[in-house]
Every structure is written in C-alpha cells, then in structure tokens.
Amino acid sequence: METYITYSRAKLPEEWEPFLEKIEGCIQCGVCSGSCPSVQMMDITPRQIIHLLRLGREDEALAANTMWFCASCYSCTVRCPMGIEITEVMAVLRNRAIERGIAEPRSLRASRAFVEQITHYGRIFELELLLRAKLAYPLSLMKDLPLGLTLLRKGKINLKPDIVKMPQRLKDSIAKRL
C-alpha cells in the first residue's frame, strides 16, 4: 500500500502562495543548509525551514532565528536543485514576523537601522549602525568596546559615512517595502 503525504497549503496565509508549488517540490537534499555561511548561528537550518513551511507550520518557522541571520547572499537559491527561492522565503518570514509582532526586537532594530542608512547614504555606515545596535544593550556595548576601539585605531571603521547617490528606482523600491 502506498503512503501519501498531504501538505497543508490551507494553513499558510496568502503571502506564501507564489512559493508553495516549488516548496512542495523540496527534496530535502540539504544543499541550501550546506551552502549557507550563517548556518552555524541559526537555531534551525534553511532546509528545516522549507520542511516546516511545506507542512504548513509557519508558527514554528517564525519562532526560529534563521531568517534574522540570513545574509541574503543567494548561495542557497542559486544551488537549490529544485529552483526554490530560499532567499525570498527568508525575506517573507522576516516580513511575517514583523506583521505579526513577533520579530526579535534586537534584530528588528538592526534591520531598521540598516534600511534607514541605505536610504540616507546609499550604503551602510558601520560606526553608526554598531552604535545604534549596541546602545540599546549597554552590557554588550561594554563587552565589545575594546575591539571597537582597536578597529577605530587601525582605521578599519570610517568616522564619516561615504555617501553614494542611489538610483531613483532603487529608492522607490525601498520606499515601497517600508
């Protein structure tokens, strides 16, 4: 007798619709996790995220820190043999976590600071980004202060932002997503 697995499309909200067909085709080969430079910091791997989603278990995927450590490097997406857009899946998870008010506050603060800097300067300004992320957590600031001072002394951190003129199309695209 053959056993069939029924995936739970109905349990996932409509934001997932464009991805469902491909997600259902995941063969759980693990190439995505094996290609991921951030996997060691993730509490569950990209492969496991895809598995949870194809079972309709979005809540469990959202409870993981995986999407917050995704560097959007696209390694997983270009290597996935089934053409699954895993990088986009991570972006949808971040948006869903924000919409549902379950985003990890530190990650959210860092993400907002990142987007604001890209919008204002056209690229990131590390010193401000670090200070904004760390000032909310003084203990962490104290811990990292010696390293920060060393980097500053060696000229590895700019004191002023480099300003790059961004194409209008890119500005519009960012504004649409805010």
Q: How far is the CB of 25 from ligand SF4 (least distance, A)?
A: 7
User: Which three-class secondary structure state does DSSP give residue 34?
Assistant: helix
Instruction: Decide: is 82 part of the binding site for ligand SF4 (CB under 6 A).
Output: yes
Residues 13-42 vs ligand SF4: string with x where CB under 6 A?
A: -------------xxxxxxx--xxxx----
Say if CB 117 and CB 124 are below 8 A apart: yes
Instruction: Decide: is 107 part of the binding site for ligand SF4 (CB under 6 A).
Output: no
Residues across the chain = 178
158: left (phi over 0), alpha (psi -120 to 50) or beta: beta
**Closer residue to ligand SF4, CB minimum distance, 56 or 161:** 56
Residues 55-74 vs ligand SF4: string with x where CB under 6 A?
A: ---------------xxxxx
Instruction: Decide: is 53 part of the binding site for ligand SF4 (CB under 6 A).
Output: no
**Closer residue to ligand SF4, CB minimum distance, 50 or 62:** 50
CA distances from 131 to 5, 109, 110, 113 (A): 49, 12, 10, 10
Segment interacting with ligand SF4, rule: CB under 6 A, options 46-54, 91-99, 133-141, 151-159: 46-54
How would DSSP label each residue in 37-98? TTGGG-SS-HHHHHHHHHTT-HHHHHHSSHHHH-----HHHHH-TT---HHHHHHHHHHHHH
Residues that bind ligand SF4 (CB under 6 A): 26-32, 35-38, 46-47, 50, 70-76, 80-82, 84, 86-87, 90
